[in-house]
Amino acid sequence: MKEHRTKLLIIGSGPAGYTAAIYAARANLNPIQVLGIQPGGQLMVTTDVENYPGFSEVIQGPWLMEQMLAQAQHVGTQTVQDMISRVDFSKRPFICEGEGGDRYIADTVIICTGAQAKWLGLESEEKYRGYGVSGCAVCDGFFFKNQEVAITGGGNTAVEEALYLTNFASRVTLIHRRDQLRAEKVLQDRLMENPKIQVIWNAVIEEILGEEEPSKNVTGVRLRDTQTNKLSTLAVGGVFIAIGHKPMTELFAGQIDLDKHGYIACTSGTTLTNIPGVFAAGDVQDSVYRQAVTAAGQGCMAALDAQRYLAEHP
């Protein structure tokens, strides 16, 4: 069991955490970054990345995270393979405990624990994730030019992503388990008016179909009618899961203000939480954009906010 003292503790990694670490280290804050259960976050399970600025060719998500980690370490960040299991934000310095029993005592904290896309929980979904199954239309829609794709969900996210996919796909099929959507009326109207979109009501995906040769890819979905239990098959080249995201904030419940969806509540346009000296960046506080580049931008903002706070509260 060790005790670590630092001006700045960064909880979590990914684009937000690594960028915060880079800026904080360059500001001589000597940050400690606890990497968490999945260092690199969601990009570690993302294959082709084509929309991160600075790369003319397609890059791999894990490679990008490895580069960010190496850069954070190169400029002086102390990275620790641990997972924070308890926090005390009631007074400064803040005290956080790792799963192994180590204590982290910090003057400021940046939370970058991210969010996870909710998945259907199918074995076939896991098998083809990154090979035709995606949780982000903005990230991966470009790869399905002139193909038929399916998307499942019924809220604003599902409808918005279905509309977005029409910019690339030849046909988009929205699959919803009920007979009406939860999305806002204006979005529903746009959906119904788009000639490239069809809706299959009262249906759920039972299995994602695909092939291994000549390359691993999705070929369709097996659907079950929720009223009759009748099975049917829909041929598609891609499947998008849009049933929501879950911010990784269970650890902070009761310690910090969360919004009604569980995201950390920050002052608009900043990374400031309701606890002075505690900041949040990336998908853990962003329910709207959820992109690597916006998370990185917020990581920069959080480091600058922490630096400013430490200057004012030495």
Active site residues: 136, 139-140
Of 6, 207, 168, 30, nearest to 102 (Cα)? 6
Determine the Cα–Cα distance for residues 312 and 5; give it in Å rounded to an integer: 20
Task: Name beta bridge partners: 245.
Answer: 117
For 152, residues 6+ apart whose C-beta sits below 8 A from its C-beta are 120, 158, 174, 175, 176, 204, 205, 239, 240, 241, 242, 243
Sequential DSSP letters for 231-252: EEEEE-SEEEE-S-EEES-GGG
